[in-house]
Structure 1
């Protein structure tokens, strides 16, 4: 045998060759569970590796790019109160800024934004005083167009017999820049939007986005100054089949929307 060949021995478990022993059948349920477990391990491993890998520091970011930015974060203390259904009252810390960004993205991505009165209340609760008018004008224009797209009336109500669904579901947050006075936080998450019910031409679908939220410390709290959004990262879908329209509509009625995301 050449020295260049690998010298590897494989130790196999002992076999039970007793005559007449029935062949063990493979349990399809356990096999399926094993596949799911393997997939979860791979996904978590890749997520951990990419997080450890870090990334480039955004231009102009203050106190960003340290090892602390890429370290796992812990949830801050729950907000002190809620205004118009929006959790407010955050600590003047990195974790506080991340909690504010996650909860503000949830509020901004809710069905309340499709109704003029509740939209004004949400903007007033989460916007910085200097940015309130600009964010309000921007939201009015954007959601009026969405109302038309989904067939909602001027008050944000869906056609008779259908249920309108719009929910933002944050998955994680990352600090891009931080000082005690300003913070830029990226929120990765999924969103559900559409009309649930029989005969819907706009069925409820999911969309994955990363929302970058610029916050400032104002009036003793983190407040939204500006935001931008891009698509993805988007996971592979296909482990489960889609539910029927009525099942989705019933789920929307049965499961209340979460207001406190982090």
Structure 2
């Protein structure tokens, strides 16, 4: 049965043959709401043969994995974005992780995605992840949805400052919103979309772009899940936004739509089996829409 967990993984799954940054690293101990440095090692010095040189920008995510989500083996994927876009030439990025992202003393990862803002861009890179770090001084608890392995979808549309708000939306009507009909799904989706800074399309837009009411994938049983997936792929192909660049070259956290990367072959991504192959074609055809 289709769930928010499946939807969240759907656009971050399947093997991808590209590579990533040589390394990204962060201290093993991090305190929430305090500045910490992310160090990025790229291959720009390689000249014309540089892999990273084909991109202009990279996005930075936080990967949050609740203890019981281990029912999906080796699953690490972005949960929300910390920095919307930073110049590809940047090697040190100052990050501040909100106190509300999860419980104190738990393990997290930072993830990056390289992409190009050129009019005819190459496909985005795979995700690259830091080693596990321990995050302290956080104030949230795992929700019932977290502990079931379900979490808000679409990290490219969800700033980490609002992750806890979206988490609570999922938990407030769990499990009806996870395993229910489109009506149950709709309420949870609209709750998450109303969280500050979240740029999910409206439910009406989702209905317009996605599957019709009552149309399901065979055997999935969640009309809302199908609707949102189709709409998300469609909107990624048709929406662009103009980010604001700050003096230090770091773009603000206003969402800029770009394809969600596919997981690397390093055991850090999960492959999700679905009833139809529409998303394979949609993903292969997506291009970076940032201007």
For the superposition of Structure 1 and Structure 2, which TM-score range results when normalised by the shorter chain?
under 0.3
Richer in helix (by share): 1
TM-score, normalised by the number of residues in structure 1: 0.26
Which has the larger Rg? 1
TM-score, normalised by the number of residues in structure 2: 0.24
